Structure 1
Amino acid sequence: MSDYDFRKSTYSSGDAHGECVEVARNIPTTVAVRDSKYSDGPILLAAPGAWTPFLHSLHSGRP
């Protein structure tokens, strides 16, 4: 059982077959991300200090 408390991203589509991302930020040292359609699938783990710059780069279109 995972300690991560996943929540659907506000940027995910409402379509059950669309792009659905869940993010867990309840563990201070880790941000966890997964595809909501595959809840038993892989989880991407990131350091909190890297998460905000990553989101900003997505919004700005920079790699």
Structure 2
Amino acid sequence: MPEDDERELEAALARAGITPPPGRMRGLLAAYRDLRPMLPLLRGPRDAAAEPAGIYSFDNITRDRGA
């Protein structure tokens, strides 16, 4: 229901204390409708392997490169 989407977005913006600039609500609503189906992916359980910080080697980041 398009009206429900708009009410949900307005409520979420109000909870976050966000007041969109004039003329931006249509774009925000379109983005909200596109991103909402992805929420289950964001809120799903994750293990340590899914943490991006685990993909870097501290030695590679701190190695002196002859500078």
Q: Decide which structure has the larger Cα Rg and report it.
A: 2
Could you say which structure has the higher strand fraction? Answer: 1
Q: TM-score, normalised by structure 2?
A: 0.30
Could you say which structure has the higher helix fraction? Answer: 2
